[in-house]
Structure 1
């Protein structure tokens, strides 16, 4: 039986998300442990800057709607309770840390592409989660560079 009571799995809804969720589910498989799932949507203003004189609200709303539907389907396929599905807007590492604190998670499971060189220096979500978490973090190696 796992020593963990509450596990938070962070996914980006890519094809690698299933592998990350499977690892989290294996940890909670023995029972007595809650599994929560989070997907963070980065605001378009983060990607394009706040100085662009465009209204992104309609596009942002559509992204939110599609992501919510994808997360619900993904959660159904992975038998994750509706009450444990979280979709938020913000910077991934900040929002993952905030939710982990809020639900009192003792483990965060996140995918990592094993970046190196310039990509590593620029940082990644997994790296950001690792370096600010107040609980254990499991980085699941995913992608072509496994």
Structure 2
């Protein structure tokens, strides 16, 4: 059983989150915490000067609303938004919150996605805690 479970939520994979939360609840210690995390990538400096609206500010509000909607009224689910490179930042947040399990999603193997998606592969290599790869 796990006391702190981190579930990364990609903007384009919101539909898979309910399955990940259900999995997390099965292995969560009573009184444990689940954290839903979205990592927004920053706009590169060479293009940022041409953007008048910072996309991460707009997306932060939208994604926080989405995360809270996915969490529902469950007090054991926290929602966080951060910026950076997802494959790196997810493992950093896992260390910061003391997560003992990360549940990442991955596509079924095909020629397009060989075994794991790039973020799932990076998280699996860098994490200091257990990683469960849940297929969509």
Query: What TM-score do you get using the length of structure 1 for normalisation?
Result: 0.77
CA RMSD of aligned residues (A): 2.4
Q: Which residue of 1 aligns with 2:34?
A: 35
Which shifted more, 87-96 or 4-13? Answer: 4-13
Structure 2, unaligned runs of 5 or more: none
Note closer, same or farther for the CA distance 1:122–1:37 as it changes in structure 2 (3 Å cut): closer
Q: Secondary structure at the match of 2:123?
A: helix
- Matched pairs, number: 133
Bigger strand fraction: 2
1:112 Cα deviation (Å)?
1.0
Moved over 2 A (4+): 50-53, 56-60, 114-123
| 5+ long unaligned stretches in structure 1 | none
**1:103-130: CA deviations, max 9, x gaps?**
1111111111134435339952111110
Give distance in 2, aligned partners of 1:25 and 1:113.
22
Q: Does residue 68 in structure 1 map to residue 64 in structure 2?
A: yes
2:10 and 2:24 mapped to 1: Cα distance? 15
| Alignment match, 1:22 | 22
